[in-house]
Amino acid sequence: MNQRADVVERMAELRRRIEYHNRRYYEHDDPEIADADYDRLMSELQSLEAQHPELADPDSPTQQVGGRRSEAFSPVKHLQPMLSLDNAFEEDELRAFDRRLRDRLGHEAQLDYHGEPKLDGLAVSLRYENSRLVQAATRGDGETGEDVTHSVRTIAAVPDRLRGQDLPRHVEIRGEVFITHEGFRELNAAQRRRGEKIFVNPRNAAAGSVRQLDPEIARQRPLDMFCYGIGAMNGGPNFTTQSQMLDMLQHWGAPVSPEGQRLSGIEACLAYYHDLLARREKLAYDIDGVVFKVDRRDWQQRLGQLSRAPRWAIAHKFPAQEKTTVLREVQFQVGRTGAVTPVARLEPVFVGGATVSNATLHNLDEIRRKDIRVGDTVIVRRAGDVIPEVVKVVAEQRPADAREVEFPEQCPVCGSAVVREPGEAVHRCTGRMNCAAQQLETLRHFVSRGALDIEGLGEKNLARFFELDWVRRPSDIFRLHECEEDLLALERFGQKSVDNLLEEIERKRNTQQARFIFALGIPSVGATLAKSLARVFGRFERLRQAPLPLLLTVPDVGPAVAGAIRDFFMDEGNAAELDRLFSGERPIVFEDAGEPDVAWVKTLEMTSLLTALGVRGVAAGAAELVARYHPDFASLWRDPAASVRDEREAQRLCEVASVLESQGCREMLDATEVLLRDWGIHWTQDRSAWHETGQDSPLAGKTFVLTGALAEMTREEAAGSIEAAGGKVTSSVSKKTDFVVVGSDPGSKADKARKLGVTIIDEAGLKALLDKRNGN
DNA sequence: TTACCTCGAGCTCA
DNA sequence: CTCGAGGTAA
């Protein structure tokens, strides 16, 4: 069977040739063959590998990420998510960070940190496999970014291959791509010479360059990079500190900031911060703060991370740049829900890398608090990275004719009364769908991305159609085809545009219920809640008909939200609009009209059964629980072995029990108690509370006193956990107290505990106790 | 909120 | 060539 040997040989040859051409391309920027020929080699190899899976090889070039011409901007999943950093703006916050860490680590002496400047560029993750750069990706949402290999590869500072021995099989190196001041000046000079666009700041120039499609343009741009961390890594050397890791990166040939320093203790960090702040102007590139990381890796690991940022690092931001400018006017914008927002129109001023001409003033209280008047000279900054903010008024420069801001009593758009609900900061226009602003905003929301997502119906076009009276409410969108002629007559609307738009609208007649519910723009119903409403009710019509108590059974729906939903559907205008959307020749059609959630149906049954039995006021959660796990309601009371799966559920069962108690349903109450006891829970009538009586809990029967603020939970939460574990929480320390849990800033209870010789533990100690009990 | 890139399509002039 | 839309980043 010579054929097989031939195949093996051909595959080896293909792999060799592809690797050779990869080297020419990647390392020497000097491809020898045309793309098409290269692709032919690649596809032949791919098809051979597909036919002979037993000959596949993980090291084959077909398995390499990035390939030769990875698809520009296609999504890339980071092997390890790219986290963001927690920010500190004041010294206090930095000190609090240090304190938090030392408490958590139980480390009284000072901590070693690694400090480095926080560059103002864009974050990029480089992926090296077998020492070769195979892929570069932007940060994206932290999980998934965009493939920018084609342009990042052209950055001189980014090595195509890592040097040295003991390299990892693969590694993600994280860093910041930026442009120096000098590079920026030269780039703009060149742009001007060529009559091309001038960039407003180095950051945008860098970001723009990285997202150039043509790598040759990127190559002309003075992009630079500093690396500061490692994501996923497989193999390679061990390192025990952040500083060591950076040394290692440098050793591999990756660019690392020369400003990085190891710092002992938080005072050294502050000194470092002030030093860099003073030298900020003299640095070759823009920085917007300093990053501090716990130097020891094992401590980093012990500290772990929160949802979005590691606990062991923080960015100490420089104060935002501020400028003064003149407030020309205050205008009032009316939003979708009628909220009237004051907006400052400012004399344009360049601050923090961008031109600011508008800034929200939030509400009337804010205006009065800052005593902002029209004509005032104000201090403006770009706070928290992006949103412009009027910091304060320069009182000395107030002109004699400065005007106080008068909040309109009538809506500036429709003239309806503007009211302010007691307890709310916002003013609202009462015009509802009679108000053009609210109509237009409603439409904008309806077609927006998370909603029906009608492409081609962007802000500009929508506003045009609105003014022409073609589209005043959502149902009009689906009648646009009736004005096809008029559409064609419009400026910049040819046959193609019209076809595309009408086809898109036609497509979006079919949609999902969650999108549609979100699209309606019911106050406090966002994308997430819309999803759960769709799931729970199964059919839109049921949601529409749902009475208040049913709405309240939905997770995350409380009285306010339930009321808002009810009000929306009760409104006659809304009802008529919905009828229009669902009637006619081609109504809105749901692709996912399904049956309601079984648990929810059971909840309803359960609720009505309890009601029939004369039990009133059963908590929604309890009803939901019972319904979910005991679909045959009656069996619950017959089968005490039925499982209750966790403490929350047990607690809810207790709620049922307390209702049963109050309603005098003795028989059912007894059954409930048996059920709870079976799970090791003792329900006490007097407290309507519950706790575990299990013997294996170290907390069982112990008495706790809590004092001081806890970092991770409130005292109430801690008390809840202790009771759940069978312990007891009291308010004052006595000889009978077993443990005193001391948080930060403890009161006199800690002293008393010391005097009485009661065991003192901290939050970590308490957690340890609780964990032990959860077993395992 | 602003700045930037890409894409499709219309507009304009040769 | 120019515009609007759509997307991304900070």
- Statement: residue A31 has pLDDT above 70: no
Instruction: Judge whether residue A145 contacts strand C, using its CB and a 7 Å cut-off.
Output: yes
Of these residues, A77, A118, A282, A752, which one is catalytic? Answer: A118
The per-residue pLDDT of chain A, averaged, comes to 82
How far apart, in whole angstroms, are the C-alpha atoms of residue A633 and residue A177?
A: 62
Q: Stated in angstroms, how far is A505 CA from B10 C1'?
A: 21
Nucleotide nearest to A385 (CA to C1'): C10
Residue closest to C6 C1′ by Cα: A455
A:154-213 Cβ neighbours of strand C under 7 Å: 203, 207, 211
A527/A726: higher pLDDT: A527
Q: Which residues are registered as beta bridge partners of A331?
A: A343
* C1’ C10 / CA A204, Å: 9
Nearest amino-acid residue to B3, taking CA and C1' = A204
What CA–CA distance (Å, rounded) separates A372 from A331?
13
More confident residue, A49 or A318: A318
Tell me the C-alpha to C-alpha distance, in Å, between residue A470 and each of A465, A478, A485.
Answer: 5, 11, 12
Measured in angstroms, what separates residue A531's CA from nucleotide B10's C1'? 39
Instruction: Quickly give A259 CA vs B6 C1' distance in Å.
Output: 37
> Is residue A187 within 8 Å of residue A205, measured between CB atoms?
yes
- Specify the pLDDT at position A609: 55
What's the pLDDT at A536?
79
What are the angstrom distances between the C-alpha of A309 and each of A118, A530, A708? 15, 28, 26
The CA–CA distances, whole Å, from A366 to A386, A405, A428 equal 19, 11, 16
b/e map of A570-592 (b: 16 or more CB within 10 Å)? eeeebeebbebbeeeeeebebeb
A215 strand B contact, CB < 7 Å: no
Is strand C in 7 Å reach of the CB of A735?
no
Quote the pTM value. 0.71
Q: Would you place residue A359 in the very low, low, confident or very high pLDDT band (cuts 50, 70, 90)?
A: very high
A197 touches strand B (CB under 7 A): yes
A703 bridge partner residues = A728
Rounded-to-integer distance, Cα A540 and Cα A42, Å:
51
Q: Tell me: the pLDDT tens digits for A684-703?
A: 543 333 333 333 456 665 67
Give the DSSP letter of residue A71.
P
**Contact flag, residue A123 CB and nucleic strand C, below 7 A:** yes
As ranges, strand B nucleotides with an atom below 7 A of a protein CB are: 1-11
Q: A642 pLDDT band (50/70/90 cuts)?
A: very low
Mean pLDDT, residues A165-177 taken together: 95
**Average pLDDT over every residue of A671-694:** 49
Residue A398: CB less than 7 A from any atom in strand B = no
pLDDT band at A217 (very low <50, low <70, confident <90, very high): very high
Which residues share a beta bridge with A418? A429
Structure confidence at residue A641 as a pLDDT band (50, 70, 90)? very low
pLDDT(A357) > 80: yes
Q: Is the CB of A464 under 7 A from strand B?
A: no
Q: How confident is the model at residue A774 (pLDDT cuts 50, 70, 90)?
A: very low
A459 touches strand C (CB under 7 A): yes
- pLDDT tens sequence across A568-602: 999 999 999 999 999 988 899 999 877 766 655 55
Measuring from the CA of residue A203 to each C1' atom, give the nucleotide at the shortest distance: C10
pLDDT band per the 50, 70, 90 thresholds, residue A634: very low
pLDDT number for residue A478: 94
Three-class SS string for A551-584? Answer: HHCCCCCCHHHHHHHHHHHHCHHHHHHHHHHHCC
The predicted structure's pLDDT at residue A760 = 74
Rounded distance in angstroms from the CA atom of residue A390 to the C1' atom of nucleotide C10: 20
Nearest Cα to A351, choosing from A324, A371, A318? A324
Our answer to whether residue A118 is catalytic in this structure is yes
Least confident of A8-17, A295-304, A344-353, A581-590: A8-17
Nucleotide nearest A448, CA–C1', reads C6
Is nucleic acid strand B under 7 Å from A214's C-beta?
A: yes
Q: Which of A295, A342, A290 is nearest to A316 (CA)?
A: A290
> Could you say which DSSP state residue A672 is in?
H
**Sorting pLDDT into bands at 50, 70 and 90, what band is A527?**
confident
- pLDDT digit string (tens) for A323-337? 999 999 999 999 999
pLDDT band at A705 (very low <50, low <70, confident <90, very high): confident
A343 CA: nearest nucleotide by C1': B1
Predicted confidence band at A34 (pLDDT cuts at 50, 70, 90)?
low
Overall average pLDDT of the A714-738 stretch = 67
A357 touches strand B (CB under 7 A): yes
H-only helix segments in A410-547: 436-447, 459-467, 474-477, 484-489, 495-507, 513-519, 527-537, 540-545
